[in-house]
Structure formats: C-alpha cells, structure tokens
Structure 1
Amino acid sequence: MTDEASAPGKSTAPGKSTAPQASDQYVQSLARGLSVIRAFDAANPVMTLSEVAARTDLTRATARRFLHTLVELGYVRTDGKSFVLTAKVLQLGYSYLSALSLPQLAQPHLEDLSLALGESTSAAVLDGTDIFYVARVATRRIMTIGITVGTRFPAYATSMGRVLLAGLPQPRLEEYLAAAELHAITPRTVATRGELLAVLDKVRAQGWCLLDQELEVGLMSIAAPVWNHNAGDVVAAVNVSLQAQSVAAQADPAAYLESVRRHVVETARAISQDVSAKHGDA
C-alpha cells in the first residue's frame, strides 16, 4: 500500500490536465512543454517516447521535439530509448516553495507528530482540483506509490483535500465542484456531489476529517485544517496516514483513532499559530 500522497485516482493524467481558456496571451508551445514535464510522476518516472505522447495527447513527432529540447536544457535525460526527469526540474518549483513560509513552519511540527505516533505525516495545500504536498515526514511506505513533496491527489478523495474544501467560501467551492471529475477510486469512495457536500458539512462542523480507504484500499488518514487567523481562512491541511489493518489490530480501535485525532488537531493548531504570527508580522 501507499499513503495519501501516492494513491492512484487522478481523474486525468498529469499531462492531460485541462488547459486554461486560450487567449491572445496564451503560448501553446509553452503549455505543451509543461505538459510533457507533468507527464512524469511517481507512477511513471521513466517513459518511452510513445508513453509520453500517449499521456500528453501529443503526436510522437511533437513529443519528441519537446523531450529533446528538455534534454538539451538539462531537465530530462535519456539513454536513447527511455526518458526521465533530472533534479534540475526542482528549480521550477523552488521559488514558489521558498517564498511559501508554510513548509518551513510546518516541518518541525510534522516531525514531532510523526515521532509521537510513529506514523507518516504530511502538509498540503489546494491547487486547482488537487491537493499538493508541501511538507512530509515519512516513516514507512504504506501506499502502492511513494509520496513526496510535490505529489498531487484529487482533493475530494483525500482527508486533507476534504479539510481544504470544507474551508472554502461557497463561491470557490462551487467552482471546484464544477471543475472536479468525481469518480469512485475504491468501493468506499464518496463520488457524487450530494454525498461529498454532506461529508464536507460534517468536516466543517467537527473541524477534522477521517478518511477510511477511499483513496486506496487499506489506507486510512486523519486530517485537520491550518488557519491563517489574520485572514480568517484555511491555508493548508495536515494529516497522519494509517494502515487500516494496524488500526483494526489495536485493543480499542476507536480509542486509538481518537488519540490520533487529538494529536493531529493539536499539531494543526500549533502550525496555525505559527502561520498567523508569521503573516501578522509581515
């Protein structure tokens, strides 16, 4: 198994995300080049030309030109048959992450939380219809694919995503629902608008979310919101990932989950205080 950062279930492949409405300022070649980079992910770290073309809906000739341009720029390397991203692509997101105080503020709290529970912990923000991991402490791999900073998952099927969606003002939530493609990732996934709205009402009221095997069979997680109290909005979410089998093996599973919930909520509260203080000083 894996954890909430690595489960399958994207409604579209990374290279096939919906493009913004084209305008006279829209540069199609740049959009296509970025789609080639996004085609590589944890489940597809190494691909052939044909695989890249298929995941991006580009012709082989077009995909070849973009790939070899990226090779010359140092963002991709090839052995003549397969292609893989290089570490240089990290520079593309470094400016964003370095300007975002959240990862630095959250990391020590996530480390303390992971140490207290012996489980993997993460922080994520909402980006379009996905959650985007900005910080993580991994203890062991409990999902089928690995989770790292930069991993994305569909928000509706994750505990952190539901916390973030529950914190949106109604107009933005409606925009999300109009753009998101809901489908059942596992037999337990909440995948209709009505069911999701009911779940979000509950998450909003209680201030945390328990996800039980909706992103991946065997995976559970508990998440809580991180607030910027100065602005009065939810800016991120933190979670703990759990193995359903391990939870069931506890002497009192309900009491164990309640203990985890308290730790997660307290960690989110501590990060919220740091975030609010940081932005209050800005």
Structure 2
Amino acid sequence: MAPESFEDSADYVQSLARGLQVLRAFSHDMASPSLSQVAERAGLSRAVARRLLLTLQHLGYVGSRGRSFYLLPRVLELGYSYLSSLDLTELAQNTLALLSERVGESCSLAVLDGSDIVYVLRVPVRRVMSVALGIGARLPAYATSLGRVTLADLPEAELTAWLRGQKFRAITTHTLHTTTALKAELKRVREQGYSIVARELELGLCSIAVPIHAADGRVVAALNVGMPYADDAPARAVKLILPALQDAQRSIEYAIQHGSWQPHMALTRAYA
C-alpha cells in the first residue's frame, strides 16, 4: 500500500504520527524551540502542537522552561530500543576502537533510513566536520560514502524508486547531485566494493566506506573512516586505510554470522 493510501485508511493513527512529527522538530540547531517554532517545523497548527507537547511533557519526554520546550533523557529510550535490538553495535564496538587506533582517524557505523544515513556507532578522533556527529546524527545518503555503499546494494528497481523520490542539491561544488551521475557512481561502488567521497559533503572532508553484510549477503550497515581533505587524501585512503577498513569489515561480518566477536589479526597490528 502506498504511503498516501495508508494515511487515508482506518489503520492510520494520525495523533501518533503528529506526536512523532513534534519530536522530530527538535534538533541540534533548535534544541529549545518555542511553541510557534515547533508548530512551524512539524507543519501543525499551534493548538495541535500545544496539545501534543503537553502530552509529551506529561509522559516525561519533553520539558518546558518559560516559553521554550526541550527534550528530556527519556527520549533516548526510543532510540536505545532500536540500538539494543541490534547485536551489530555491541559486536562492532571493539572493532571500531581497534580500527580507529590503527589508522588514527574517526570511524563510524551507520544504517540507511529513508533519505539519510543514521549513525549508530562512532569513535571520534578529531572533529573534521563543521557539524557535531554523534549517535543518531543524520546525513544525506547520496552525498556520503556510508550512504553510497548501502545504496549500491539495493536491487535495481528499488534503487530507481529511491532515486526518483529524492531531491538532490549541490551541497558543495563537488557534490554529485544528478540521478545520472549518482547511478554511475553507485555502479562503480558496487563493482569495487567501497566508496570514496571527497569534498562533496564538506570541502575539508574525505571519507572511505565499505558495506557490512549479514549472513544472507544483504548489506545491513556501512563502516567508514573520515579524514581531513588533502590532495593526496583519496589515494592515501585507498592505499593505506582501505586494507584496515576491510579487515574491520571481515571482523564485524564474522561477529554477525557467529554471534561473537573475534578481531581480524591485522587489526591488532600498528598502522604504518
């Protein structure tokens, strides 16, 4: 059933959908919005937004200070329920720590969620982006190495539908932002088994990612290493970082398939 059709059905709970819209109105750049700001961001009337905020406040998900509202720690339970259902994050934690130590750069694990990739695990070394990235942070999938290795695994019909449903823009002058260019790049990623994105999301950023496969071969997540951009960064990423990334990939996939963690031996060697 198409999303629009389901929203007109008797099974669709509009109040629940609106409540989630209100929660999504909070963000890093608007941590304590006013009622009017929440209503505008959620696309709701002030009266509806007010009732939903008061309900969320009663349930312990939202607090208020004067005319501003803010999220309370209980909201984390919603995300933690998802993360705790993924053995993946627990099994990958040690591998990311070893990988980060080996290459001396920040490492991340993310999953595809609609138009975005969502970070589910991260070991930061230094801040290489202008925005702070943490668990739950979202970035546009089409402009990230994490997103591209995940998208490259989609069946052709599913990928075509995904591309058709997106609105692309040139985030920087280097961003691939047309369907034709992205399809060609995803084909290349599928063939080579990794993705490099340089200066497409931010001018000072370069990253390289590999897919994480489940036992049945499906890509269930993506693993990357991010680094400051330099002219030799892409070549260095392929020559020096990709082998370490692939060792980590094998370690995490082993853990997924066997339910226990065993580091790939190369991960314990010093990075040169």
| Normalised TM-score (structure 2) | 0.88
- Cα distance in structure 1, aligned partners of 2:106 and 2:63: 31
1:196 equivalent to 2:207? Answer no
Match of 2:254 among 273, 279, 282: 273
Q: Could you list the per-position Cα deviations for residues 228-253 of structure 1 after superposition, in whole angstroms to 9, with x for gaps in the alignment?
A: 2x312111100111111xx34x7x87
Q: Decide which moves more: 151-160 or 42-51.
A: 42-51
Superimposed CA distance per residue, residues 42-89 of structure 1 (whole angstroms, 9 cap, x where no aligned partner): 232221222212211112222122112211211111112221111100
Report deviation, 1:31. 0.4
Q: Does residue 237 in structure 1 map to residue 207 in structure 2?
A: no
How many Å apart are 1:256 and its aligned residue? 5.4
Q: Deviations over 1:146-166 (max 9, x none)?
A: 111111122111100000001
Paired residues of 1:42 and 1:145 also in contact (CA < 8 A): no
Q: 2:238 and 2:161 mapped to 1: Cα distance? A: 33
Partners of 2:62 and 2:234 in 1: how far apart?
Answer: 46
Equivalent residue runs for 1:107-126 within 5 Å: 107-126=93-112
- Alignment pair present for 1:174 and 2:142: no
Amino acid at match of 1:272: E
For 1:94 and 1:197, the matched residues in 2 are separated by 34
Look up the SS of the partner of 1:237 in the other structure. Answer: strand
Q: Which has the higher contact order (CA 8 A, sep 6+)?
A: 1
Secondary structure at 2:200's aligned position in 1?
A: coil
Aligned-residue RMSD, C-alpha: 2.0
Kindly provide the CA deviation profile for residues 200-219 of structure 1, in whole angstroms up to 9, marking residues without a partner as x: 01111111011011112211
Partner of 1:14: none
Checking the alignment, whether the CA contact within 8 Å between 2:208 and 2:237 is kept in structure 1 is no
Q: Deviation string for 1:91-124 (max 9, x for gaps)?
A: 1122221111111111111111111122111101
* Structure 1 unaligned residues grouped into runs of 5+: 1-17
Structure 2: unaligned runs, 5 residues or longer: 261-272
Q: Tell me the number of residue pairs that the alignment of Structure 1 and Structure 2 aligns.
A: 257
Q: Distance in 1 between matches of 2:179 and 2:247?
A: 30
CA distance in 1, matches of 2:4, 2:73: 26
Deviation at 1:176, TM superposition (A): 1.4
Partner of 2:240: 259
Q: After TM superposition, give the deviation of residue 19 of structure 1 in Å.
A: 7.4
Post-superposition, which runs of at least 4 consecutive aligned residues in structure 1 deviate over 3 A? 18-21
* Residues 255 and 189 (structure 1), Cα distance of their counterparts in 2 relative to 1, 3 Å cut: closer
SS at match of 1:87: coil
1:234 partner letter? V
| 1:224 aligns to 2:210 (yes or no) | yes
Residues 10-49 of structure 1 show CA distances to partners (whole Å, capped at 9, x for unaligned) of: xxxxxxxx87841210011110110111121223222122
CA contact (8 A) 1:208 1:265 kept: no
Contact in 1 for aligned 2:61/2:74 (Cα 8 Å)? yes
Greater Rg by CA: 2
Cα distance in 2 for partners of 1:47, 1:257 equals 43
Identity of aligned residues (%): 47
AA aligned to 2:248 is T
Counting only pairs closer than 5 Å after superposition, residues 1-282 of structure 1 correspond to structure 2 as 21-22=6-7, 23-228=9-214, 230-244=215-229, 247-248=230-231, 254-255=235-236, 257-278=238-259
Distance 1:27 1:214 in 2: 39
Return closer, same or farther for 1:21/1:214 CA change in 2, 3 Å cut-off. farther
Q: Provide the secondary structure at the position in 2 that maps to 1:149.
A: coil
Q: Do the aligned partners of 2:208 and 2:224 also contact (CA within 8 Å) in 1? A: yes
Distance 2:107 2:94 in 1: 11
What is the TM-score when the length of structure 1 is the normalising length?
Answer: 0.85
